[in-house]
Amino acid sequence: MTHRVLLTGGFGTLGGRLAAILGQDPQVKLRLASRFKKNSPVWAPQAETFVIDFENMRSVKEMLHDITHVVHLVAMTDFESRAEPVKAKLVNTEYTQRVVEQCPKNTRVVYLSTIQVYGTDLHGTITESTNTSANDAYSQTHLEAEKIVTSAHKGGRIEGLSLRNANGFGAPMSQDAKIWQIIANDLCRQAVEKKVLTLKSHGLQCRNFIPFTDVCNAIHHSLFMSSDLLGDTTFNLGGNATIRVKEMAELIASRCAKILGYKPELIVQGAPPENLPATFVYNSDKLRSTGFSPSTSLETEIDRLLVACQKWFEPK
């Protein structure tokens, strides 16, 4: 059986990594949507490309013609969303609505949401039943988009699910991806460009880091898992460990020593807080119960990212 899969944002950071995986699946016919005309990428040479204008409903409908599965990745970053909240509502929420409305009936739709829908004060064990606390344009628009997917699923129009992604990190397929602002990617780039790691904060805040390899594998799994496993359509997607940002920086420094032959100095600029920030557990048992398990170590993803940074950013 051939699955006709559409990736919106198919040339972005996760879109590129996911396209490389799906492009190797002989049962997948892949379509990559982008706002700009592009040739099929070298990592998915058989993929069809589509120039999408989300302001034109005919364009949206044509993009979705004959599609059986959708991964909706188009969204503004958290920094962009906070800077332009009105535009964030359009891109992150309204565009999701337009995609869902035009999907052929029973299309499997995987929407990538964010851990940030639970707010910034994370503590204890976070499950899908934990109350949401979306308090900025980024988290609010993602939570609204989740509700669109859930409503369409419960109404019988699509088979939809949302993955609340934790702090993903890793190498994109090309250096111009808009991913260098996230903490782990920024630190790996610093390690190559400056040979020094600088944390502007105290680094004691906790994050659940998940390699992009596992994020992409989870999306791939979600595309094709049995409909009986969808439940109420919302799944946490986290890594195997929650650690402090400073610990991640120290791990990157040690991997740099092993992979690139030098250990960058770590400079922590922020003063330590009066009280140590709480740790938390990002519980992804619900997704794991469907048969998915994260299997990529932080070290493996960091090593790949450092090698990519060396290729793209090492001073000449």
For residue 186, what are the domain limits? 171-208+242-281+296-313
CATH number at residue 262: 3.90.25.10
Share of the chain above pLDDT 70, in %: 100
What local confidence, expressed as pLDDT, does residue 130 receive? 97
Same domain, 32 and 117: yes
Helix (H, G, I), strand (E, B) or coil at 191: helix
Same domain, 277 and 220: no
Q: What count of other Cβ atoms lies within 10 Å of the Cβ of residue 311?
A: 11
- Matching residue, tokens 């019988």: 156
Q: Helices marked H in the chain — which ranges?
A: 13-22, 57-63, 78-83, 85-88, 95-102, 137-154, 183-193, 212-224, 245-259, 285-288, 298-313
Give the number of domains in the chain: 2
pLDDT category, 115, cuts 50, 70, 90? Answer: very high
Same domain, 257 and 273: yes
Same domain, 136 and 150: yes
- CA 194 – CA 315 distance, rounded (Å): 9
**31 DSSP β-pair partners:** 6, 48
Same domain, 10 and 113: yes
Residue 196 has pLDDT above 90, yes or no: yes
CATH number at residue 230: 3.40.50.720
Kindly report, residue by residue over 276-294, the tens digit of the pLDDT: 999 999 999 999 999 999 9
Same domain, 308 and 177: yes
Residue 316 has pLDDT above 90, yes or no: no
Question: In this structure, are residues 71 and 6 in contact, taking their beta carbons and an 8 Å threshold?
Answer: yes
Same domain, 29 and 124: yes
